[in-house]
Amino acid sequence: MDQSGEKVVSSAQLASKCMVNPAQVRKDLAYFGEFGVRGVGYYVKDLLNSIKKILGLNKEWRMAVIGIGNLGSALLSYKDFLKQNYKIVAAFDIDPPKVIGRVSEKLGKPVEILHISRIKEVAKERNIEIALITTPPSEAQSVANLVVEAGIRGILNFAPAQITVPEGFVLKDVFFTNILDNLAYLLSNS
Partner DNA sequence: GGATGTGAAGTCGTTCACAGCT
Partner DNA sequence: AGCTGTGAACGACTTCACATCC
Q: Which residues bind its own copies (CB under 8 A)?
A: 54-57, 61, 69-71, 73-74, 77, 80-81, 84-86, 106, 129-130, 137, 153-154, 156, 158, 160, 168, 170, 172, 174, 176-177, 179-190
Of 165, 167, 117, the C-alpha closest to 145 is 165
| Residue 62 binds: one of DNA, its own copies, none (C-beta under 5 to 8 A by kind) | none
- Would you say 43 or 92 has its CB closer to DNA? 43
| Residue 129 binds: one of its own copies, DNA, none (C-beta under 5 to 8 A by kind) | its own copies
| Residue 96 binds: one of DNA, its own copies, none (C-beta under 5 to 8 A by kind) | none
Helix axes 44-55, 22-32, angle to 10 degrees: 60
Alpha carbon 118 to its chain centroid, in Å, reads: 23
DSSP string over 97-155: HHHHHHHHHH-SSPPPEEEGGGHHHHHHHTT--EEEE-S-HHHHHHHHHHHHHTT--EE
Of 125, 124, 61, 118, the C-alpha closest to 92 is 118
**Does 51 help bind DNA (rule: CB under 7 A)?**
no
**Does 81 help bind DNA (rule: CB under 7 A)?**
no
Q: Which of 2, 16, 17, 40 binds DNA (CB under 7 A)?
A: 40
Q: Which of 16, 21, 142, 164 binds DNA (CB under 7 A)?
A: 21
